[in-house]
Structure 1
Amino acid sequence: MNPDYSLTIADIMKRPAFQHAYVAAGADSLHRTVRWVHIVEVIQFEELLQGGEMILTTGAAFKNNTHLFTNYIAQLVKRNVACLGIEMGHYISDVPAEWLGITENNGLPLIIFPKPVRFIEITQDIHAQIINQHHHDLQELERISREFHRLTLTSQGVGHVLQLLQSSTHAQVIYLPIEGQPHFVPAPSDKQARHWMELLKANAEKQADDAPSAPLLLEDDGQTLIIQPVGAMGKTWAILAIALSRKPRQHDYLILDSASLSIAQDLLRKRYMEERKLYSQTLWVDDLLHLRIRDEDQIKAFVGTAFKKLNQLTYYACLIEFEREAADDLRSGAAYSVEDDSLGIHLSLTVRSVFEQHLFHPFITLQNNRLVVIAFDYLPGKPAKSRLQQTFAALRLLKTGEPWKLTISVGRPGKGFLQAYHSYQEAIQALSLTSTLRKDVLFYDDIGVFQLLFNITDRGLLETFVYGSLGPVIEHDRTKGSELLRTLKVYLDHDGSKQETAGRLFIVRQSLYYRLDQIGSLLGPDYMEPEKRLSLQVAIRAYQLLHPDKEL
Structure 2
Amino acid sequence: MNLEVKLSVHEILKNQHFKHAKVVAGKAGLCRLVRWVHVMEVTSISDLLNGNELILSTGIGWKRDKNTFCSLVQQSIDSNAAGLCIELGPYVSMIPQEVIELADAHDFPLIVFQKEVRFIDITQEVHSLLIKKHYQILSDLEEYSNRLNQVLLSSNPQQKILQLLHDHLKMTVFYISNQGKVQVNYKKPREEQDEIFEQLKGNKIPPQMNVAHQSVQALNQTFADLFIISETGAITEFDSLILDRSAIALAQSLLRELYIEEQRKAKEAEWVSCWLEGGHSNDQIHKYLQELEPNLKPNGCTVLLCKADNLQKIISEFTYLKVYFRSIFEQRGVFMLSHIQRNQLAFILLNNSKADDFKYRVQEGIDCLKGSEFIKKQRFSRLEFGVGKFTSNLSHVQRIYHTAAETLNIREKMPNELTSYFYEDLYIFRLVLAANDQGILTDFISDYLGPVLSHDEQTNGELLKTLKVYLQCKGAKKETADQLHIVRQTLYHRLNKLYELIGSDFMEPYKRQAIEVAISGYEYISTSNPAYEYTAITKSS
d(CA) in 2 for partners of 1:504, 1:200: 63
User: SS at the partner of 1:415?
Assistant: coil
2:254 corresponds, among 259, 267, 270, to 267
Matches within 5 A, 1:269-348: 269-281=256-268, 283-293=270-280, 295-296=281-282, 298-299=284-285, 301-304=287-290, 315-321=300-306, 323=308, 333=310, 335=312, 337-348=314-325
Pick closer, same or farther for the CA change 1:97–1:545 going to 2, 3 Å.
same
Deviations 1:299-356 (A, max 9, x none): 355345899x999x75231314164xxxxxxxx8363553242244223432452342
The answer for the alignment partner of 2:533 in structure 1 is none
The answer for the alignment partner of 1:45 in structure 2 is 46
Say whether the 8 Å CA contact 2:301–2:349 is kept in structure 1. yes
The answer for the alignment partner of 1:456 in structure 2 is 435
Quote the offset at 1:33 in angstroms: 0.9
Say whether the 8 Å CA contact 1:498–1:509 is kept in structure 2. no
The answer for the alignment partner of 1:349 in structure 2 is 326
Quote the offset at 1:66 in angstroms: 4.0
Say whether the 8 Å CA contact 1:226–1:242 is kept in structure 2. yes
Q: Provide structure 2 residue ranges, at least 5 long, that are not aligned to the other structure.
A: 531-541
User: SS at the partner of 1:412?
Assistant: coil
The answer for the alignment partner of 1:444 in structure 2 is 423
Aligned length: 515
Q: Provide structure 1 residue ranges, at least 5 long, that are not aligned to the other structure.
A: 185-191, 324-331
1:33 partnered with 2:33: yes
Matches within 5 A, 1:176-255: 184=185, 193=187, 195=189, 197-205=190-198, 230=216, 236-237=223-224, 241=228, 245-255=232-242
Say whether the 8 Å CA contact 2:385–2:408 is kept in structure 1. yes
Quote the offset at 1:262 in angstroms: 0.8
Deviations 1:67-95 (A, max 9, x none): 45445434543454311245789986764
Say whether the 8 Å CA contact 1:348–1:364 is kept in structure 2. no
1:529 partnered with 2:507: yes
d(CA) in 2 for partners of 1:300, 1:137: 55
Deviations 1:241-295 (A, max 9, x none): 46564543211121122112212321232133223323433643322322334x4
d(CA) in 1 for partners of 2:518, 2:230: 70
Say whether the 8 Å CA contact 2:176–2:225 is kept in structure 1. yes
Pick closer, same or farther for the CA change 1:372–1:209 going to 2, 3 Å.
farther
Amino acid across the alignment from 1:107: D
User: SS at the partner of 1:434?
Assistant: helix
User: SS at the partner of 1:403?
Assistant: helix
User: SS at the partner of 1:252?
Assistant: helix
RMSD of equivalent CA atoms = 5.0
d(CA) in 2 for partners of 1:448, 1:502: 27
Pick closer, same or farther for the CA change 1:203–1:101 going to 2, 3 Å.
closer
User: SS at the partner of 2:158?
Assistant: helix
1:403 partnered with 2:371: no
Say whether the 8 Å CA contact 1:218–1:226 is kept in structure 2. no
Which deviates more from structure 2 when the two are superposed, residues 54-63 or residues 439-448? 54-63
The answer for the alignment partner of 2:100 in structure 1 is 100
User: SS at the partner of 1:32?
Assistant: coil
Which deviates more from structure 2 when the two are superposed, residues 270-279 or residues 164-173? 164-173
The answer for the alignment partner of 1:418 in structure 2 is 395
Quote the offset at 1:536 in angstroms: 3.8
The answer for the alignment partner of 1:82 in structure 2 is 82
Say whether the 8 Å CA contact 2:73–2:99 is kept in structure 1. no
Query: Bigger radius of gyration, 1 or 2?
Result: 2
The answer for the alignment partner of 1:372 in structure 2 is 347
The answer for the alignment partner of 2:518 in structure 1 is 539
User: SS at the partner of 1:291?
Assistant: coil
Q: TM-score, normalised by structure 1?
A: 0.72
Pick closer, same or farther for the CA change 1:140–1:371 going to 2, 3 Å.
farther
Say whether the 8 Å CA contact 1:219–1:225 is kept in structure 2. no
